[in-house]
Amino acid sequence: MIDFNHISCPLSKDLLYSLNPMATLSLPVAGDQNTNAFLHEAAAAKFDFHSVSVKAAGDEQLKLAVGGAVTRQDASRKMRMLDLPDPDAIRQLAGDIKQHTLDHLDYYLHQLGTNVEKNGGVVHFAKDGAEAKRIILDIATQEDTKRCIKSKSMVSEEIELAHALELAGLDVVETDLGEFIVQISHDKPSHLVQPIVHKDRKSIAKLFAEYFNTPYNDDPQALCQQARIFLRDKFRTSDLGITGGNFLVAETGHVVGVENEGNQRQSVTTPRVMIALVGIEKVIPRMTDLAVMIKLLARSATGQPITIYTNIYGGPRDKGEKDGPEVFHLILMDNGRTEILASEEYRETLRCIRCGACLNACPIYRSIGGHAYGSVYPGPIGALITPLMQGLGEFKDLPHASSLCGACYEACPVKINIPKHLINLRRDIVERKINHPIERFIYRAWAKSLKSPLLYKLNTKLQKLVLRSQAEEHGGWVTKLPSIASGWTTIRDMPQPAAKTFHELWKDR
């Protein structure tokens, strides 16, 4: 079993220098000594997709857990999409709506901001994660909040918000069951929708037995009950709620969040202060567009016709309301998104509604799981947006983590052409010369030899000589190629090349 705590996460680096200066003065939260050590370790290590994915692919237990779960999920998506009169056409429509919004994002963000303010909310724009965290910490300080309940949100994972708040001395509780388990085990989520798809119930039961100091019980019902009781008390005494958002409705100034558990509803019900932290690309123009999106989101994510709860909220509680936030903040975060927006080629990748359908459909994700991608956004969409958001440098291997089979494109509810963009990224890697120098040398040499008949003949003769002599030693099979070509022969052998090249046969005819 891989120790996932040692897989590096590049996002942590950002954390170390982005904190409120107060952070260094505050004490770590009890029981969290491990978190800090782990963060430093993660920040120090460099992400190496190759070695991590090879390790993950060899982990049979992981393959069984993740592959089994997401394959079932993929099947239920396919079934449920058949409810729709024309699944393909409505995916195109949803893609068109998102594309239209992105093409006019300045207008819709402005409209959204104006309407949120009309609803009594405060709107902030954050250029990156550091700024978003500073805004949130400022609000927490200003409002003097003590206990924060946080519902699941990919954007907050992206900027490692919970850790930042904990380090600043706030009591932060992840309230989604999966995220709660991630939090208390100092792990990382490995799927956009099911954060702990890589964990089995035995390890969760062991974790709970230790954390709550109770007898071991691996019945899912009992585990959920335990978490329910523990978290209910946290909800009741919380004064700051943080949520993400699946959609932002520009027309009315509302945030829309979907969930099954009810913990996000808690964030908009109990705490006095509420903050929604959402990426700028989540806007949709009209309330009626939401009908299209809701019909597609849960079907694509979990094969449900609709999630148990869909929460539409904007602004503080209305006059006379006795619950709900008194103060409402919306933070719209850029964090690399405008750079993608500026590229007409890659702009459509911002359509993503984070349903996870491409992960469930992907043969690569099914065998290596989410952690191997080294980013909070795993799977095909992660292989695409992680390098786009954080640069190709460290993530130059991710665009190759695909067999280009197209299953992701077929699954995507907003029709992002993921395989096409992965190929484009591979092109960028070559054009910007960030691939391996030996690889560049070989392709240059190959191109040269293909252009010159003399070099070509020499080349084939040389290859024949080397490969034939190697094959003769191993009973007629080439079993080991040198250097970077060695990957080819680790799992397959090559038959002995013919005694004569085509050119020689042609001459002898």
Partner 1 sequence: MIDPSNVLDKVARSLGRTSVLTAPPTPPELPEPLVRLVHTDFGLRELFAKRATELKMLVEPCYTEELPDKLAGFLKANNCRAIGMNVSKLLNGLGLPQSLRDAGLDVKTWDDLTLDSAYDLDAAVTDVTYAVAETGTLVIRTDANHGRSLTLVPKVHVAILQPKNFVPDLLDLMERLVKDGVGSHVTLISGPSKTADIEMNVVIGVHGPLIVKAYILS
Residues 157-186 close enough to bind partner 1 by CB under 8 A = 175-178, 181
287 sits near partner 1 (criterion: CB under 8 A): yes
Is there binding between residue 265 and partner 1 (CB under 8 A)?
Answer: yes
Q: Does 299 bind partner 1 (CB under 8 A)?
A: no
User: CA distances (Å), 403 to each of 28, 51, 410, in order?
Assistant: 44, 18, 14
Does residue number 192 form part of the binding site for partner 1 (CB under 8 A)? no
Note whether 239 binds partner 1 by CB under 8 A: no
Alpha-helix runs per DSSP H in 311-378: 337-342, 357-361, 363-368
290 phi and psi angles, rounded to 5 deg? -60, -35
- List Cα–Cα distances, 21 to 48, 136, 167, 472, in angstroms: 32, 14, 11, 68
**Looking at beta carbons only, is 158 or 289 nearer to partner 1?**
289
Establish if 509 lies at the interface with partner 1 (CB under 8 A): no
Q: Tell how strand 240-243 and strand 122-126 pair up.
A: unpaired
Choose among 463, 451, 458: nearest CA to 496.
463
Buried b (16+ CB within 10 A) or exposed e, 72-100: ebbeebbebbeeeeebeebbebbbebbbe
Q: Does 342 bind partner 1 (CB under 8 A)?
A: yes
Quote the DSSP letter at residue 345: T
147 binds partner 1 (CB under 8 A): no
**Nearer CB in complex with partner 1: 206/440:** 206
User: One symbol per residue from 426 to 455: x for binding partner 1 (CB under 8 A), - otherwise; what is it?
Assistant: ------------------------------
d(CA 402, CA 425): 12
Q: Does 405 bind partner 1 (CB under 8 A)?
A: no
What is residue 274's three-state secondary structure? strand
**Mask for 74-113, x = binds partner 1 (CB under 8 A):** ---------xxxx--xx--x--xx--xx-xxxxx-xx--x
Q: Is 67 in the site for partner 1 (CB under 8 A)?
A: no
Residues 6+ apart with CB under 8 A from 1: 59, 61, 62
Q: Is 220 one of the binding residues for partner 1 (CB under 8 A)?
A: yes
| Nearest residue (CB) to partner 1, 194 versus 402 | 194
Candidates 133, 254, 351, 396; binder of partner 1 (CB under 8 A) is 254
d(CA 241, CA 148): 6
We find the least distance from the C-beta atom of residue 411 to partner 1, in angstroms, to be: 18
Report the C-alpha gap between 165 and 172 in whole angstroms. Answer: 7
Among 7, 81, 140, 332, binds partner 1 (CB under 8 A): 332
Within positions 118 to 137, which residues make up the interface with partner 1, using CB under 8 A?
119-120, 125-127
Closest separation between CB of residue 458 and partner 1, Å?
51
